[in-house]
Structure 1
Amino acid sequence: MTPGRAEFHQQHQASAQVEACRLFEQKAVLKGAWLGWVASQIYALRPAEYASMVRRALARLQETSEN
């Protein structure tokens, strides 16, 4: 990982976690419509590196909830 990338990750990790939690909380509300909705929400996030961080955090939340 280059220093710039590591720095970006450190600066945005907390907000990516918060965003992932916000998206995950809507799963119970939106039920079957959630998957399409969450995909559109992640797609709209910028920059792409941040969207990837949110996507990974969301995947971890989903794994935890399934176990």
Structure 2
Amino acid sequence: MSRQQYHADNAARASSEARRLLDQRAALGPRWLAWVASELYQLSPPEFANMVRRELERQSAG
């Protein structure tokens, strides 16, 4: 599977996962960043974790 196809197949899932992580920011307060790091570390495969990380950045900025 090409990178482009993988991205297309998983973009909605990555966006949803990023939203789930962002939704916990207020509840976790200052512990949120460490929590997000551990959540991202557990995601597999690494390509998907990178997609979620980029989506987190995009959603945080917007």
TM-score range, shorter chain: over 0.9
Unaligned runs of 5+ in 1: none
Per-residue deviation, 1:63: 1.0
Aligned residues: 62
Question: Structure 2-normalised TM-score?
Answer: 0.96
Per-residue deviation, 1:5: 0.6
> Percent identity over the alignment?
45
Any idea what SS the aligned residue of 2:2 has?
helix
After TM superposition, where is structure 1 displaced by more than 4 Å over at least 4 residues in a row? none
Q: How does 1:14-53 map to 2 (within 5 A)?
A: 14-53=12-51
Q: CA RMSD in A?
A: 0.9
Which of 1 and 2 has greater Rg? 1
Question: Structure 1-normalised TM-score?
Answer: 0.89
Unaligned runs of 5+ in 2: none
Give the letter for the 2:57 counterpart: A
